[in-house]
Amino acid sequence: MASRSCVFLRVFSCVFLCAFLCLGLFSVPVKAQLPDNPVPKVSVPEHIRPRVPHFDKAERSVIVGQSVAALYDGFTTRRFVQICPTCIEGDPVSRVFIGRRPTWARMIPAGAGEVVTGYEIGYWMRKNRHSAVRKLWWVPQVSATAVHLIEGSKNFQVFGAASARLTPGQLGAHAMRRLNHGG
């Protein structure tokens, strides 16, 4: 024998389903409810209008370039830290966000945040009222791309020391010398 709550749920679901179908079948079409003379569209100022991201070709290429450069720098940094157990992140600004011994769990959110921030700064620069600022919208992202490419290349220079089969202590000292003296 079914319990009272089970029977109640079955009856309630049948009533709800029937009411839903009746409302759907016998309701007046939406088009018939509209007035004959619609109200004219009011233009909303741009600073109030919600922003829907629409990337043109230049924006997409700069965003993809910065993302690839950040991924390249992250890959070489992680590989360098795996090869050299005594080495640490040398860049003091990056060390604040990704720590002394970077991991993917810290590098990916930091890189994604950097790319989004670069895009936002570029967007604000594109919408600026000064024409000189509007023409230089790409500079923040391209400069970040250049920094990532340079830092990733420095990591590759240090990889050369690892191929010479140095001990971890020697490799760490060699890497710090090369990074401090620029190559």
Write down the domain spans for the chain: 4-32, 57-181
Alpha carbon of 177 to those of 4, 147, 174, 180: distances in Å? Answer: 80, 20, 5, 5
The most confident of 6-20, 78-92, 137-151, by mean pLDDT: 137-151
- Grade residue 121 by pLDDT with cuts at 50, 70 and 90: very high
Name the pTM for this structure: 0.60
Query: What is the structure's pLDDT at 174?
Result: 52
Distance from C-alpha of 139 to C-alpha of 112, rounded to nearest angstrom: 18
| Dihedral sign for Cα atoms in the order 146, 150, 152, 156 | positive
Q: Which residue has the higher pLDDT, 97 or 34?
A: 97
Structure tokens at 175: 């890497």
- Please report which helix (H) or strand (E) contains residue 50, including its range: none
